[in-house]
Amino acid sequence: MRLIRGIVRFFDRKIILPVTKFFVNIGKKIKKINKPLESLLKTKSSLIVVSLLLAMVIFLIVDSKSTTLLETDAEVLYNQKVTANYNDEEYVVTGLPKTVDITMIGTKANLYLAKQLPEQPVTVDLSNLSPGVHEVKLKYKQAITSVEYKLDPSTVTVSIDTKQSITREISSEIVNLDNLDSKYSVSSVKLDSNNVIIKGSEAKLKEVATVKALINISKIVDVKVGDNVLNDVELVAYNENGKKINVELVPKKLNATVKIESPNKTVPLKIKPTGVDKIAFGKAISSIKSNVDQVTIYGNEEVLNEIDAITVNIDVSNLKSNKKYTKTIKKPKGIREISSKTVTAEISIDDEASTEVSGVRLSYINLGSNYTVQATESSTTEIPVTLKGVKSVIENITATDIEAYVDLKDLGVGEHEVDVKVKGNDPKVNYSPRITKVKIQIADKQ
- Average predicted confidence (pLDDT) for the chain: 86
Whether pLDDT at 170 is above 90: yes
Q: What is the pLDDT of residue 229?
A: 95
> Are 207 and 240 members of one domain?
yes
Q: Which residues have a Cβ under 8 Å from the Cβ of 242 and sit 6 or more positions away?
A: none
Q: What percent of the chain has pLDDT over 70?
A: 84
> Are 172 and 243 members of one domain?
yes
pLDDT per position as a tens digit, 92-120: 998 999 999 989 898 888 888 877 877 78
Q: What is the CATH number of the domain that holds 393?
A: 2.170.120.30
> Are 331 and 371 members of one domain?
no
Question: Predicted confidence band at 62 (pLDDT cuts at 50, 70, 90)?
Answer: very low
Q: What is the pLDDT of residue 375?
A: 75
Instruction: Determine phi and psi for 261, rounding to 5 degrees.
Output: -120, 165
> Are 309 and 372 members of one domain?
no
Pairing of strands 253-261, 185-191: antiparallel
- DSSP line for 27-94: HHHTTTT-HHHHHHHH-HHHHHHHHHHHHHHHHHHHHHHHHHHHSEEEEEEEEEEEEEES-TTTEEEE
> Are 9 and 97 members of one domain?
no
Collapsed DSSP state (helix, strand, coil) of residue 368: coil
> Are 256 and 171 members of one domain?
yes
pLDDT per position as a tens digit, 24-59: 565 565 555 555 555 555 565 655 655 556 655 554
> Are 403 and 327 members of one domain?
no
Model confidence, pTM: 0.60
> Are 182 and 257 members of one domain?
yes
Q: Which residues have a Cβ under 8 Å from the Cβ of 1 and sit 6 or more positions away?
A: none
- The residue out of 138, 162, 186 marking a domain boundary is 162
**Length of the chain, please?**
446
Q: Are 258 and 298 in contact (CB under 8 A)?
A: no
Edge-to-edge strand ranges of the sheet holding 264-274: 310-315, 264-274, 294-299, 335-338
pLDDT per position as a tens digit, 291-331: 999 999 999 999 999 999 999 999 999 999 999 999 999 99
Q: Which residues have a Cβ under 8 Å from the Cβ of 289 and sit 6 or more positions away?
A: 345, 346, 348
CA atoms within 13 A of residue 318's CA, in its CB half-sphere: 0
**Residues 26, 335: Cα–Cα separation, whole Å:** 90
- The residue out of 300, 327, 351 marking a domain boundary is 351
Q: What range defines the domain where residue 335 resides?
A: 264-351
C-alpha torsion sign, points 46, 48, 53, 58 = positive
Q: What is the count of structural domains for the chain?
A: 5
**Residues 35, 363: Cα–Cα separation, whole Å:** 127
Q: What is the pLDDT of residue 64?
A: 47
Q: Which of 426, 424, 284, 437 shows the shortest CA–CA distance to 354?
A: 284
Q: Are 85 and 70 in contact (CB under 8 A)?
A: no
> Are 220 and 252 members of one domain?
yes
Cis peptide before 121 (omega within 30 of 0): no
- The residue out of 70, 89, 119 marking a domain boundary is 70
Q: What is the CATH number of the domain that holds 212?
A: 2.170.120.40
How far apart are the two ends of the chain, measured CA to CA in Å?
A: 144
